[in-house]
Amino acid sequence: MDANKEVLFLHGGASTHFFQVPMNFLTKGTKAAYLDCGVWGTKAIKEAKIYGDVDVVASSKDKNYTYIPAGFHIPNDAAYFHYTTNNTIEGTQMHHIPDASVPLIADMSSDILSREMDFNKFAFIYAGAQKNIGAAGVNLVVADRSFLAKGNKGIPSMMDYTVHVENGSMLNTPPVFAIYVCMLTLRWLKKNGGIQAIESANNKKAALLYDTLDTNSIFTLPVEKKDRSLMNAVFTITDPSLEALFLKKCESESMIGIKGHRNVGGFRVSLYNALPLSSVQVITDLMNDFANQYGS
C-alpha cells in the first residue's frame, strides 16, 4: 500500500459509513455511482440519496441478488463509485476490481484481509472489524489523502474524516480493547504467512465446502458459480421438510449459526480467516452423512 494512504480505527460498525461517506464526498448537484448487489448495497444507496444524486449502475435484485452484474458502465462524471466486495447475506462476491475513471470506494467488511488485492486502486475503503480483523465495535478505514482533501467542508467534526486523520483516530476516546484485539489478530495473520497464505487456506476451505454441496443433489446452491463467495456459502435443501432435521443434526454436533439469514432463508456457512480447514472437514463429513441418509 502506497504512502499516500491514511489508516484509521474508528468507533462503530460498517453501517456508520453508509451516511458518513456521502456526507464527506457527495453534495446536492453532484452524483455518485453505486452497485446494488444485496442488503448492504441497498442500505448504502438509501443513505447516499439524502446527500445527492445516485446512479445505480447495475443491480442483481431481479434474481434475488444471486449473481454479480457484469458489463455495467460507471459514469465519468460521478464523484465516486461505491460497491460492496462481499455480500454476507446473499453469498456473492466481487472477484475482480472494477475499472473506473472515478475514485473507487469499497465496503470490505466481510472479506478484507482474506485475499490479495491491489488496495492502491481504491480511494477509500471501510470495513467493520468483526469478520477478519478483530472484535466488533471498531472500523478500519483506509483513505487516499488526495481524495480526502477534496471532501466536503462544514460538516460535523465527528463525521469529517479529515478531522479524524488530524487527531490520529483519537478525536474521541477510541474503543481500546477492540483495537487491541485487532493488533493481536494482525500479528497472528502475519505470523501465519500474511494475506497470501490466508488466501490459499481460504480457497481450500471454499473448494471443499462447495465441492461437497455440488456433489450431493440434496443441497441446492442458488448463487451463480462464478460469483460464489469464498467467505459465506449459502445453500438450501431440495426437500424443505428436511431443513429442521438438518439444523438439529448440526446443533447436535455443536455446529451452531448454520441457519441462513432471515432475508433469504436456507443455510449459511461462513469461512472467515480464523476458521480452520479441519472445521470445514467436520461439517462436510456431516453433510455427506446427511445426504447418504436422506438423499434420493
Cell of 199: 488466501
Specify whether the CB–CB gap between 13 and 136 falls below 8 A. yes
What is the sign of the dihedral through the CA atoms of 245, 248, 252 and 254?
positive
Q: What is the distance between the alpha carbons of residues 203 and 265, in angstroms, rounded to a whole number? A: 25
Catalytic residues: 40, 107, 131
- β-pair partners for 237: 219
Q: What is the distance between the alpha carbons of residues 45 and 145, in angstroms, rounded to a whole number? A: 24
Q: What is the distance between the alpha carbons of residues 122 and 258, in angstroms, rounded to a whole number? A: 33
Specify whether the CB–CB gap between 261 and 269 falls below 8 A. no
Cell of 58: 447495475
Q: What is the distance between the alpha carbons of residues 46 and 32, in angstroms, rounded to a whole number? A: 12
Of the candidates 62, 10, 71, the residue with the CA atom closest to the CA atom of residue 36: 62
